[in-house]
């Protein structure tokens, strides 16, 4: 789509920037990447009163042009790089009217870059309610820009904002805010001359940020570095002086333009809630209660839509089978691609529900309190308060949780969180655990009320969290910090969730999950399908021939016959050969070659284990038939010793293996995407596999 004007929204976090973006663009938005970095770029279109189309870009929320996190570092590059395809013609700075002073800092910075700018003054209703008086005309006059009061939550003032966008000047007319040139006069002059920039503040920003911006050549960056040495430029000192100068300017601007009431009403209401929600005892109790409620809901509410998705896939499978002639194409489509796809799509309900909850908790401001309460505890094991959310999300699925670690500013904290999140017992492990527990743990009550099977399952969940903490603690000493960690964070005022935002954010994240994980899963599913559908030499032909004998055809039903053929084919396929090949390696863990096959086929996704077991023990492929599968596995005997295959030792060894092993290609893919280097997913894959092997070995030998 072609746009006549490109507009970027910029503002502090919690100012209603995403609300405004959603109102302006409606459903007409897409998520891409800023070139060269993994920062989501949200763009959309809106039509202006003069019938022109405007492309709207939502820049990551930031308090200043000096970036603290990965997301924020993109802002300056987009604004400053003249060749950047996302460079806006016009900036809309969104300011929170209830907190103008701090919000204006970012405005003064972008205004000095001399890009045309207008101000959207949001949350005017809250400012009114709090008894604040803002002289908008005076503000606009002092800054030299249009100031449009809006209320994004209620959607008021949007038409006026659109008109202002339509009639905005194409050249920057705002007043200068501070004398940027005076902060480092000689250096700025040299940089302006050599890099050919005509704006003093832009030159100063280059001096500060030349190492991180995407658009300077290495030579230019080196040149700036040596100029800085020459003029003994101290980035932090100059930055401190700049901030003080900016706040002096802001105080002058706000003088007489804003009248604050004696006591802020909204604040005290928020304070009252905080007394309870961050209380020494109740705070944790409520947090635990909310967590329990979320888990309950994830599992309770998702079962119906999950069944629905599953039956839709069964339907698609059946109709494809009748439509397509039996053969390679049908098998590839049904057993390869469709099966792989259903493995991903079936988790959408759980992921969507988890995201709804996380969005609500974020939107209301409660998540910031959780971070506040948990920081000390998490710091002890090398994590930060901000790691709590991804870890909790890990109980549903590691993929979206790892995507969510972008909010962690500190590099080391973020990497450790990414490293340990896949250890948390995700929902794909659940079918594996339930099957194995049902197999070896008796279904009876202990201490009257606790069901033994339930206790073991709960134990696996607790165990996963404990192991994540222990591994995090180890990584704390291995990883070298790139920068000092700090925890300077706004605690936003409590608000009702904005349901539109909640839905949008859920939709965005679910979509990313499907696209990111789906690609990899399908590719790996096809490889695994080849491994499981073809065998070396003429083994398959021999099997067909064997079961074609009249003896078999007469004594067994057609269904049973095809199951027997399926089972024997799997045994003789490449996957089966591999299973036999790895048997010596996994024997110390108590696993036979059949389990070996399942370990190989479930490499892409853990829950495939159950399906493969069903095929190997030639029961109906349907995973609902766990009862019959359980029976078969129960009766399975070792051919050499005649002992049962699935003893308590083997089952627990297997569960521990799945607890640690990275049997999830989607996670590997997402870790690569988030870290932009194969090094990290490889380290993760290695440590988890080693840990899984060692822990299984110990478990098996202890219980044997």
Partner 1 sequence: MDLSQLKVGQSGVVKEFTDLEMSVKLMEMGCLPGETVQVTRIAPLGDPIAIKVSGYQLSLRKFEASTIILQ
CA-nearest of 158, 368, 407 to 273 is: 368
State yes or no: 122 annotated in a binding site: yes
Least distance CB 99 / partner 1 (angstroms): 5
Does residue 244 belong to the site contacting partner 1 (CB under 8 A)?
yes
Three-class secondary structure assignment of 259-320: ECCCCCHHHHHHHHHHHHHCCCCHHHHHHHHHHHHHHHHHHHHHHHHHHHHHHHHHHHHHHH
Nearer to partner 1, 493 or 671 (CB): 493
Does residue 491 belong to the site contacting partner 1 (CB under 8 A)?
yes
State yes or no: 530 annotated in a binding site: no
Least distance CB 252 / partner 1 (angstroms): 14
d(CA 620, CA 613) in angstroms, rounded, equals: 10
Does residue 243 belong to the site contacting partner 1 (CB under 8 A)?
yes
Does residue 372 belong to the site contacting partner 1 (CB under 8 A)?
yes
Does residue 260 belong to the site contacting partner 1 (CB under 8 A)?
yes
**Other Cβ atoms closer than 10 A to 318:** 11
State yes or no: 39 annotated in a binding site: yes
Q: Which residue has the tokens 């003054």?
A: 121
Distances (CA, A) of 574 to 468, 524, 533, 564, 692: 35, 15, 8, 18, 24
Does residue 484 belong to the site contacting partner 1 (CB under 8 A)?
yes
State yes or no: 185 annotated in a binding site: no
Residues 182-211 that bind partner 1 (CB under 8 A): none
State yes or no: 11 annotated in a binding site: yes
Q: Token pair for residue 703?
A: 């219980």
**DSSP characters for 79-145?**
HH-TT-TT--SEEEEEEEGGGHHHHHHHHHHHHTTT--EEEEEE-HHHHHHTT-EE-HHHHHHHHTS
Which range, of 111-119, 139-147, 263-271, 333-341, touches partner 1 by CB under 8 A? 263-271
State yes or no: 169 annotated in a binding site: no
Residues in contact with 354: Cβ distance below 8 Å, sequence separation at least 6, in sequence order: 294, 298, 393, 396, 397, 400
| From candidates 57, 105, 418, 460, binder to partner 1 by CB under 8 A | 105
* Burial of 299: CB neighbours in 10 Å, binned 0-12, 13-18, 19+: middle
Does residue 375 belong to the site contacting partner 1 (CB under 8 A)?
yes
**Most distant pair of Cα atoms in the chain: their distance:** 100
State yes or no: 482 annotated in a binding site: no
Nearer to partner 1, 82 or 280 (CB): 280
**DSSP characters for 174-233?**
PPP-S-GGGGSHHHHHHHHHHTT---HHHHHHHHHHTTT-SSS-HHHHHHHHHHHHHTT-
Does residue 487 belong to the site contacting partner 1 (CB under 8 A)?
yes
Does residue 265 belong to the site contacting partner 1 (CB under 8 A)?
no
State yes or no: 274 annotated in a binding site: no
Which range, of 369-377, 392-400, 449-457, 573-581, touches partner 1 by CB under 8 A? 369-377
Nearer to partner 1, 385 or 590 (CB): 385
CA-nearest of 47, 114, 52, 55 to 80 is: 114
| From candidates 18, 22, 46, 64, binder to partner 1 by CB under 8 A | 64
Nearer to partner 1, 487 or 687 (CB): 487
| From candidates 51, 217, 226, 236, binder to partner 1 by CB under 8 A | 236
Residues 379-438 that bind partner 1 (CB under 8 A): 385
Does residue 247 belong to the site contacting partner 1 (CB under 8 A)?
yes
State yes or no: 251 annotated in a binding site: no
| From candidates 37, 264, 316, 683, binder to partner 1 by CB under 8 A | 264
Least distance CB 246 / partner 1 (angstroms): 9
Residues in contact with 609: Cβ distance below 8 Å, sequence separation at least 6, in sequence order: 431, 432, 435, 598, 599, 601, 602, 658, 663
Which range, of 149-157, 168-176, 484-492, 496-504, touches partner 1 by CB under 8 A? 484-492
Does residue 283 belong to the site contacting partner 1 (CB under 8 A)?
yes
Residues in contact with 561: Cβ distance below 8 Å, sequence separation at least 6, in sequence order: 547, 552, 553
Does residue 284 belong to the site contacting partner 1 (CB under 8 A)?
yes
Nearer to partner 1, 64 or 666 (CB): 64
d(CA 659, CA 651) in angstroms, rounded, equals: 12
Which range, of 366-374, 396-404, 541-549, 565-573, touches partner 1 by CB under 8 A? 366-374
β-strands 40-47, 53-58: how paired?
A: antiparallel
| Annotated binding-site ranges | 11-18, 22, 25-26, 36-40, 58-61, 122-125
| Annotated binding-site ranges for GTP | 11-18, 36-40, 58-61, 122-125
Could you list the residues that contact partner 1 (CB under 8 A)? 63-64, 66, 68, 98-99, 101-102, 105, 236-237, 239-240, 243-244, 247, 260, 264, 267, 270-271, 274-275, 278-281, 283-284, 368, 372-373, 375-377, 385, 484, 486-493
């Amino acid at each position: 789509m072609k746009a006549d004007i490109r507009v970027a929204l910029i503002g502090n976090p919690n100012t209603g920037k995403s609300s405004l973006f959603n109102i302006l663009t409606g459903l007409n938005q897409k998520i891409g990447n800023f070139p060269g970095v993994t920062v989501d770029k949200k763009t959309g279109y809106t039509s202006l009163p003069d019938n022109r189309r405007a492309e709207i870009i939502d820049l990551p929320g930031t308090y200043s042009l000096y970036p603290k996190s990965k997301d924020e570092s993109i802002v300056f590059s987009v604004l400053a790089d003249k060749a950047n395809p996302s460079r806006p013609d016009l900036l809309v700075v969104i300011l929170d009217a209830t907190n103008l002073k701090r919000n204006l800092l970012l405005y003064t910075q972008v205004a000095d870059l001399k890009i045309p700018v207008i101000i959207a003054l949001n949350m005017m209703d809250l400012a009114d309610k709090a008894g604040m008086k803002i002289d908008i005309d005076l503000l606009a006059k002092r800054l030299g820009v249009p100031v449009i009061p809006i209320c994004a939550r209620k959607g008021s003032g949007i038409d006026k904002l659109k008109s202002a966008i339509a009639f905005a000047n194409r050249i920057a007319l705002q007043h200068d805010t501070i004398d940027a040139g005076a902060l480092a006069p000689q250096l700025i002059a040299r940089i302006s001359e050599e890099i050919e920039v005509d704006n003093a503040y832009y030159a100063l920003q280059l001096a500060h940020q030349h190492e991180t911006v995407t658009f300077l050549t290495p030579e230019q960056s080196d040149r700036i570095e040596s100029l800085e040495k020459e003029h003994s430029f101290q980035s932090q000192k100059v930055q401190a002086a700049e901030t003080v100068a900016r706040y002096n300017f802001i105080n002058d601007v706000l003088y007489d333009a804003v009248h604050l009431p004696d006591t802020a009403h909204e604040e005290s209401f928020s304070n009252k809630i905080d007394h309870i929600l961050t209380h020494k005892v109740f705070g944790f109790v409520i947090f635990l209660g909310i967590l329990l409620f979320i888990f309950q809901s994830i599992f309770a509410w998702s079962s119906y839509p999950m069944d629905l998705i599953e039956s839709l896939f069964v339907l698609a499978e059946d109709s494809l089978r009748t439509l397509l002639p039996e053969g390679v194409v049908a098998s590839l489509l049904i057993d390869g691609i469709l099966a792989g796809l259903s493995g991903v799509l079936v988790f959408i309900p759980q992921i969507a529900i988890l995201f709804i909850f996380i969005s609500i908790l974020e939107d209301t401001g409660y998540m910031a309190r959780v971070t506040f309460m948990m920081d000390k505890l998490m710091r002890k094991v090398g994590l930060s308060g901000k790691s709590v959310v991804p870890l909790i999300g890990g109980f549903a699925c590691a993929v979206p949780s790892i995507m969510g670690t972008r909010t962690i500013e500190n590099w080391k904290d973020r990497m450790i969180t990414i490293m340990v999140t896949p250890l948390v017992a995700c929902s794909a492990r659940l079918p594996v655990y339930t099957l194995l527990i049902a197999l070896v743990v008796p279904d009876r009550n202990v201490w009257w009320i606790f069901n033994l099977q339930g206790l073991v399952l709960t134990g696996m969940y607790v165990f996963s969290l404990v192991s994540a903490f222990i591994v995090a603690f180890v990584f704390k000493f291995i990883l070298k910090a790139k920068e000092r960690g700090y925890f300077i964070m706004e605690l936003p005022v409590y608000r009702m969730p904005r349901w539109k935002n909640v839905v949008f954010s859920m939709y965005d994240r679910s979509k990313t999950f499907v696209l990111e994980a789906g690609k990899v899963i399908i590719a790996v599913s096809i490889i695994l399908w080849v491994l499981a559908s073809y065998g070396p030499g003429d083994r398959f032909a021999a099997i067909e021939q064997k079961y074609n004998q009249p003896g078999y055809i007469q004594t067994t039903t057609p269904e049973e016959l095809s199951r027997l053929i399926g089972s024997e084919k799997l045994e003789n396929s490449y996957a089966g050969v591999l299973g036999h090949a790895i048997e010596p390696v996994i024997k110390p863990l108590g696993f036979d070659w059949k389990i070996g096959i399942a370990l190989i086929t479930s490499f892409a996704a853990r829950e495939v284990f159950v399906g493969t077991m069903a095929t190997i023990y030639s029961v109906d492929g349907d995973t609902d038939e766990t009862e019959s599968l359980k029976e078969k596995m129960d009766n399975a005997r070792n051919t050499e010793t005649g002992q049962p295959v699935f003893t308590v030792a083997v089952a627990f060894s297997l569960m521990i293996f799945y607890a640690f092993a990275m049997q999830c290609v989607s996670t590997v893919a997402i870790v690569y995407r988030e870290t932009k280097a194969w090094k990290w997913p490889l380290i993760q894959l290695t440590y988890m596999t080693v840990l899984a092997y060692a822990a299984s070995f110990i478990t098996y030998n202890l219980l044997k």
